[in-house]
Copies of this chain bind each other. A is one copy, B any other.
């Protein structure tokens, strides 16, 4: 390989561009506010990290678009998801830097910024769209504050991303493709159903005979148990599940959900170790964005009080409301609902175990 020319740090990182991109508005009005630089720079670091997250998600999408995902790519997918969550952790942690800016500090320049607002971050919307948030998931007010202010070009970029197949949809396809709902000569979900019944019966006994519970609590717990029973029944009944999905209680198809349950139950088999890691990483991505939204809302409340934000948004109340909406992988996050104790998990026939294993043991002869 022939390296044509030397590369220097400053040019390579394009620092003249990066470090000359801070132009505080307050200075333009002759009222330079010290903290406006922090406000600009912290948002720029957020945007750089969003770009990196988009880079990782795009490459994951690329891999998952293949007719089938090569087994050697699974660890690549997971490594990149783990990178995304490590970035998200910094997104959360660096809110502490923003909190060193007090209300009075912020008030010195906020009037100059109208109507700029974090809601206008195109990249954050692209991250959401790439993960799987569709326009119909957004609130009307969100669209007002956001989409109405995009340039035509940006609007087109976003719409394209929203139309494109998302990581969520690719996950669903990948999970649906797995043959765990349908083994030759082994009725796995029948066995699972029997195990669930056994578990629920045991739970019922524990609650009924537990002398330490007050009548009120016992009654409540038995009611909970009935609901749990119904939940399991729904998972296994195509018709009920479809209703659930129509009501927005789950997002994944039944087939995909069943595969996910299977992976969680038999995660230690070599063939499922990496798929389990991937599902877990996706749940972590979901958890970290949820945490970020929450911490962000709290920070805004602390700096703005009950006042309106720079973008004319009513601030932290709205932000808090998005904490629980926009959870793309909530189904994975909630998967615990469908798990049963290891001791009750159906024993797989040898020919299935063999499929899930590798010849790896020969390595240790």
Contact = CB atoms under 8 A, between A and B. Distances in A.
Contacts of A203: 111
A193 interface: no
Given A3-B112, A7-B115, A107 B339 contact: yes
Given A217-B145, A270-B271, A307-B337, A71 B117 contact: no
Sort chain A's interface into a size bin.
Answer: 35 or more
A45 interface: yes
Given A38-B55, A304-B336, A307-B337, 17 more contacts: A8-B116, A9-B118, A12-B40, A12-B116, A15-B47, A41-B49, A44-B48, A68-B364, A74-B273, A75-B268, A87-B97, A103-B335, A104-B264, A104-B341, A301-B334, A302-B336, A307-B336
Contacts of A40: 12-13
* For the complex of A and B, 5 pairs with smallest distance between CB atoms: A305-B337, A305-B336, A9-B120, A6-B212, A14-B21
A300 to B, nearest CB: 10
6 contacts: A45-B48, A68-B364, A71-B358, A79-B100, A217-B312, A355-B362
Contact of A22 (B51, B115, B119): B51
A363 B177 CA distance: 7
A144 B206 contact: no
Given A14-B23, A104-B341, A340-B107, A363 B179 contact: yes
A179 B6 contact: no
A169 interface: no
Contact of A100 (B86, B103, B268): B86
Given A7-B112, A100-B83, A12 B41 contact: no
A213 B34 contact: no
